[in-house]
């Protein structure tokens, strides 16, 4: 019997757009981008099993080979996609992959905020597997929270995927409140 593993499906466009457009308000500098290898390590440690990463890329206009090579070196399998300009090729591919995972004995983590995946994630949360959604809590579709049995992870606060502290406004549980963070 094969060892159980976790599939991590990364919607890189969604995370990058949220980081640049909603958090930073500009294109992220290299030190402000996620350290994608930390996501694999975080899930492997959290769920105590091997994690395999699929990183979905829209390569309709070009394939960013340096980034693809970096992903390969980090242990991800890049999934470069192309299609007509109006097609959401990354979303379509992730939806198909989530549906295909229903027939497999594996756990799944979606790295995205996009509500377009709610139905597929809900179908996977069948009690036979662990299912998670990882991203920035404040930008994740609230519909994921309504799915019984899924785990919700924050890419910065839980997975520690950044080398810098991002300028996010978040609700702070009183037991974690440190006034020094606001008095600097």
Q: What is the pLDDT of residues 125-170, one digit of tens each?
A: 999 999 999 999 999 999 999 999 999 999 999 999 999 989 888 7
Query: What is the pLDDT at residue 79?
Result: 97
pLDDT score at 142: 94
Vertex 111, ends 118 and 128: CA angle to 5°? 60
Scan for tokens 């970096």, then name that residue: 70
Residue with tokens 């979905």: 56
Put the strands of the sheet holding 107-111 in their side by side order. 76-81, 50-58, 5-11, 107-111, 131-135, 150-154
Q: How far is CA 11 from CA 80, 108, 110, 147, in A?
A: 12, 13, 8, 20
Give the pLDDT score at 171: 78
CA distance 46 to 82: 34
More confident: 173 or 66: 66
* Domain range 5-183, CATH class: alpha beta
Buried b vs exposed e over 19-31: b needs ≥16 C-beta within 10 Å? Answer: beeebeeeebeee
Q: Please report, for the chain, the start and end positions of each structural domain, with discontinuous segments joined by +.
A: 5-183
DSSP 20: I
pLDDT at 1: 44
**Residue of 72 and 30 predicted with greater confidence:** 72
pLDDT digits (tens, 9 = 90+) for 43-97: 999 999 999 999 999 999 999 999 999 999 999 999 999 999 899 999 999 999 9
Does the pLDDT at position 184 exceed 80? Answer: no
Q: What is residue 172's predicted lDDT score, i.e. its pLDDT?
A: 81
């Amino acid at each position: 019997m094969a060892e159980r593993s976790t599939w991590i499906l990364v919607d890189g466009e969604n995370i990058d757009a949220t980081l640049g457009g909603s958090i930073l308000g500009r294109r992220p500098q290299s030190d402000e981008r996620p350290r994608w290898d930390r996501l694999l390590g975080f899930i492997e440690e959290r769920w105590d099993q091997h994690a395999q990463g699929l990183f979905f890329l829209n390569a309709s206009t070009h394939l960013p080979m340096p980034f693809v090579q970096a992903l390969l070196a980090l242990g991800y399998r890049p999934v470069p996609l192309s299609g007509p300009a109006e097609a959401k090729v990354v979303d379509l591919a992730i939806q198909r992959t989530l549906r295909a995972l229903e027939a497999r004995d594996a756990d799944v983590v979606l790295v995205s905020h996009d509500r377009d995946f709610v139905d597929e994630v809900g179908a996977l949360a069948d009690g036979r597997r662990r299912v998670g959604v990882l991203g920035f809590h404040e930008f994740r579709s609230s519909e994921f929270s309504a799915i019984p049995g899924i785990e919700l992870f924050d890419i910065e606060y839980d997975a520690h995927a950044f080398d810098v502290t991002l300028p996010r406004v978040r609700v702070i549980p009183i037991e974690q409140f440190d006034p020094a963070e606001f008095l600097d």
